[in-house]
Structure 1
Amino acid sequence: MDLAVPPRPKTLKIRGGQSDSSARILSYKIWEAIIQGKAGGHPADIKMMWVLGSNPVNQMPDTNKCHQAFKKLEFVLVHEQYMSATAKFADILLPVNTWMEREDYAAPWLGAPYYAYANKAIDPLGESRSDLEICTELAARLGIQGFNDKTEEEWLRHLIAEMPDIPDYDEFKRKGIHKVQLAEPFVAFKAQIEDPENNPFATPSGKIEIYSQTLADMNDPKIPPIPKYFDAEENWNQPLARRYPLQFISTHFRRRVHAQYDNLPWLRRVEPQALWINPVDAQPRGIKDGDLVKVFNDRGVVMTPAWVTERIMPGVVHLAEGGNYHPDEQGIDRGGNPNVLTSSEPSPLGSNVDNSCLVEVQRA
């Protein structure tokens, strides 16, 4: 990839930043980058994708644009445990093992004073390997020297040895958990409170910035220097709402972890994937509880059962994220995947906004 590209004029200057090169792609614009390439102003013409630890076809917004991008790629390599929506696009599909078939450790997602060690429960099934083993063997075949000189356990010992919180690897592995004994209760920003001069925040002023001069200097009305409410990009106040009058939302589902476990029949029976719709919206559309409905907008069409319920407000419908993308011959998704409908257009500062859009619903 050519890194000799002009700097971005709106790159945020923060402490520790070393480069303002624009040779990068926002994750939610990756489909456009693949489809358009350099001709569309992107830093590279992407030829291949190597996917591991992810299911982007299912979990990233604007699934049909994603479908188009994957078909343009010359080569797709995927590590997977089952035939996911992304795995179906693979030219080569490598069987990766599960977390139950390898050693690992983890810290809490949002931080807490303990660590967990995941002892391997069983040996890897069939010919499956860990991501580390796959990448190490591929590196050797590709002639990449010095890629990896350690086994899985050697890496774990090396990483944990550099962590002052865990004094003994073998004891940590035996117990499966290590609780960090704090000398005193944790207080957020304690150093900045007690000695702000020598402990500045990672902002241009070194302080908590309610008003950001950096954002003010960008002079972009969509990026105000002080927090301000904006309507969602697709909302009831837009002309688009005349065609698509329902605000669509998508949240996490208690029976899945994103798309994981969606292929378990007994979990699907316990809580089916279904569109939540208020009786106020269902009745004029002739929709009854359990009816198959068509949910659609300009980006795509999803067919899914309806759950007519007062647990969602009128004018709003809901479909949980993670439903497995399963298009029929006409490209209509039959798996209840909300990302067929969501937009990949990010917020002005680059955040994802794929949990809300406008749709219409009809009885199938």
Structure 2
Amino acid sequence: MFTLRQYLLTLSDSRGLTRTLGEVELCLDERGRPRYSVGNSAVVFRIRRNGCIRSLRCYLRKMRHLREIYGDKLLEKELFLYTSSETGVWVDAVLGDWIEGVTLHEAAAEATLARDTAKLRSLAESFDALAAGMIADDCAHGDLKPANIIVGRDRKLHPIDFDATFLPAFAGEASPELGTAAYQHPARTAADFNERLDDYPAALISTGLHALAEDPTFWDRYGTTDGLLFSPRKIPGDPAYREALALFERRGRAVQYRVAQLLCAPSLQLFGLAELLREAVRQAGEQQPATDESTPELFVENGRWGYRTPQRIVIPPLYDSGFDFTEGLAAVLLGGTWHYIDTTGRTCLSFPECEAVKPFRNGRAQVVRNGCRIGIDRAGNERPVAENEFAI
């Protein structure tokens, strides 16, 4: 075991105490204190070397597989730490890029307090894109959480702290750590060390960010310093989780609703998550319906309804029921709420208190609320139903 004090002693005057780095300078904050962050297994210093700002990751305890994880960034036996006034030991360090920015947790907290829903939606969409790539390969971060993601000045998300990474070469080993409990599946044990470790935290973070984007006041009621909004061990009874799920249903956020439902899965592997995140990324980037294809038609798969053309699946099976597209809109049922969507899957109209709906015809449709028929137009405006209009 090594201490922060030992590293500060070496790096405060590194002459003769580094093997390849030469002299390094600790960067100081506005109060003249060294800039660093301390985690479970390491401390990361902001240093200046050869005129460039870098990060230097120094370990408080012995870690395995650093060479496989960090490659050439690992500097073996790089720093000399004094263990007494006369003796010491050479220890490993990892030299990397310093990413200027704030953590995803800090960015989300700042945006919610400012009620900046546009920024929150941007953070949520950026995270979905990051997570879609991370869970699609045969590796895993192992401790995925907002505090381990930096929102850079370039507005991109940068994962950090890869000490708990799973690589295919590590198959069969025990996990070196269990990750942060506020973002991990409650059933995770040291025996769970595989490429699916990021499934649950990815779904949890995505759900939390999208809930905040829909309603920033979630933070006032449920935000914490450790977690984002939810308590994994309390799902599905967790009040924040139940409220978020109801909000997604009411507003027709089908992908987010299905991702949130996965958090009730009994195992760490969330089947279908990769496809849902890909759809979230597609919807975030696709704003206009395609004009060069035939009208999408209903299809059912595993008890859920989606839409496809002869060429491709346009909207994956997300809905509990649905009607064919008429006049560019289709009525779909999500949970217990009816919505009308366009051919990109975007929700255009929502009717959370209606028991039934009809497709559009001549710019009009009908819905049933409390047993009464109500006419609507494409803007959702309501009007009385004429006696000669078709009945539901």
Both proteins in one fold, TM over 0.5: no
Q: Which has the higher contact order (CA 8 A, sep 6+)?
A: 1
TM tier relative to shorter chain: under 0.3
Bigger radius of gyration among the two: 2
* TM-score, normalisation: structure 1: 0.19
Q: Per residue, is there more strand in 1 or in 2?
A: 2
* TM-score, normalisation: structure 2: 0.18
